[in-house]
Chains A and B, each alone.
Chain A
Amino acid sequence: MNKTAKAYISLFKIRVAESFQYRMAAFSGVLTSLVWAFVDVVAFTAFFRYGDRAKFAGGLTLEQTISHIWVRELLLFLQPFSIDDELLLKINNGDMGLEMCRPLDLYWHWFARSSARCIVMFVMRCLICFAVGFIIPGGYGARSPVSPGAFWLFVPSACCAFWLSSAYGMLVTAVRANIAWGDGPMYFMLLIGQVLSGGYLPLQLWPNFLQPFLLLQPFAGLTDIPARLYIGSMPLSEAWLGMGVQLFWSAAFILLGKRILSCRLRTIAAQGG
Chain B
Amino acid sequence: MAQIELSDIRKAFTVRERPEGRWGLLKGAFARHARTVRALDGVSFSIGEGALVGLIGPNGAGKSTTVKIMSGILTPDSGACVIDGRVPWKERVAHVAGIGVVFGQRSQLWWDVPVSDSFSLLRDIYTIPKARYRARLEELTEALEAGSLLTTPARQLSLGQRMRCELIAALLHSPKLLFLDEPTIGLDAVSKLALRGFLKEENRRSGVTILLTTHDMDDVEALCPRVMVIGRGQLLYDGTLGGLKRRYARRDGQDIDEVIAAMYEDLAL
Q: Which residues of A lie under 8 Å from residue B106 when comparing CB positions?
A: 95, 98, 272-273
What separation, in Å, do the CA atoms of A103 and B86 have in the docked complex? 14
What separation, in Å, do the CA atoms of A104 and B64 have in the docked complex? 22
Q: Which residues of A lie under 8 Å from residue B92 when comparing CB positions?
A: 100
- Knowing A7-B125, A102-B125, A103-B93, say if A97 contacts B181 (CB, 8 Å): no
A97 and B110 contact, CB distance less than 8 A: no
Number of A positions contacting B (CB below 8 A): 25
Contact of A11 among B72, B121, B182 (CB under 8 A): B121
Within 8 A of A (CB), among B69-99: 71-75, 92-94, 96-97
B127 and A3 contact, CB distance less than 8 A: yes
* CB of B111 to closest CB in A, whole Å: 8
Task: Say yes or no for B113: interface residue by CB 8 A criterion.
Answer: yes
Q: Which residues of B lie under 8 Å from residue A104 when comparing CB positions?
A: 93, 125
Task: Say yes or no for A6: interface residue by CB 8 A criterion.
Answer: yes
What separation, in Å, do the CA atoms of A266 and B74 have in the docked complex? 9
What separation, in Å, do the CA atoms of A266 and B75 have in the docked complex? 8
Q: Which residues of B lie under 8 Å from residue A270 when comparing CB positions?
A: 68, 73-74
Number of A-B residue pairs, CB cutoff 8 Å, is 75
Within 8 A of A (CB), among B107-145: 108, 110-113, 117-118, 120-121, 124-127
- Knowing A10-B120, A10-B124, say if A101 contacts B112 (CB, 8 Å): no
Q: Which residues of A lie under 8 Å from residue B75 when comparing CB positions?
A: 266
B110 and A273 contact, CB distance less than 8 A: no
* CB of A92 to closest CB in B, whole Å: 14
What separation, in Å, do the CA atoms of A98 and B74 have in the docked complex? 10
Q: Which residues of A lie under 8 Å from residue B74 when comparing CB positions?
A: 97, 268-270
A102 and B96 contact, CB distance less than 8 A: yes
Contact of B125 among A10, A17, A98, A266 (CB under 8 A): A10
Task: Say yes or no for B52: interface residue by CB 8 A criterion.
Answer: no
- Knowing A14-B113, A98-B103, say if A103 contacts B94 (CB, 8 Å): yes
What separation, in Å, do the CA atoms of A95 and B121 have in the docked complex? 19
Within 8 A of A (CB), among B233-267: none
Q: Which residues of A lie under 8 Å from residue B120 when comparing CB positions?
A: 10
Task: Say yes or no for A32: interface residue by CB 8 A criterion.
Answer: no
Residue of B nearest to A180 (CB): B16
Task: Say yes or no for B13: interface residue by CB 8 A criterion.
Answer: yes
Residue of A nearest to B173 (CB): A103
B113 and A273 contact, CB distance less than 8 A: no
B108 and A7 contact, CB distance less than 8 A: no
- Knowing A10-B124, A103-B93, say if A98 contacts B105 (CB, 8 Å): no
A273 and B124 contact, CB distance less than 8 A: no
What separation, in Å, do the CA atoms of A14 and B119 have in the docked complex? 11
B110 and A18 contact, CB distance less than 8 A: yes
Q: Please list 10 pairs of residues, one from A and one from B, whose beta carbons are closer than 8 Å in the complex, sorted by A's number.
A: A7-B125, A14-B110, A17-B113, A98-B73, A100-B72, A101-B101, A103-B96, A105-B93, A266-B75, A269-B68
B-to-A contact residues, CB < 8 Å:
13, 64, 67-68, 71-75, 92-94, 96-97, 101, 103, 105-106, 108, 110-113, 117-118, 120-121, 124-127, 181-182
- Leading 8 A-B pairs by shortest Cβ distance: A103-B97, A273-B64, A10-B124, A18-B112, A100-B73, A7-B125, A7-B124, A97-B73
A-to-B contact residues, CB < 8 Å:
3, 6-7, 9-11, 14, 17-18, 21, 95, 97-98, 100-105, 266, 268-270, 272-273
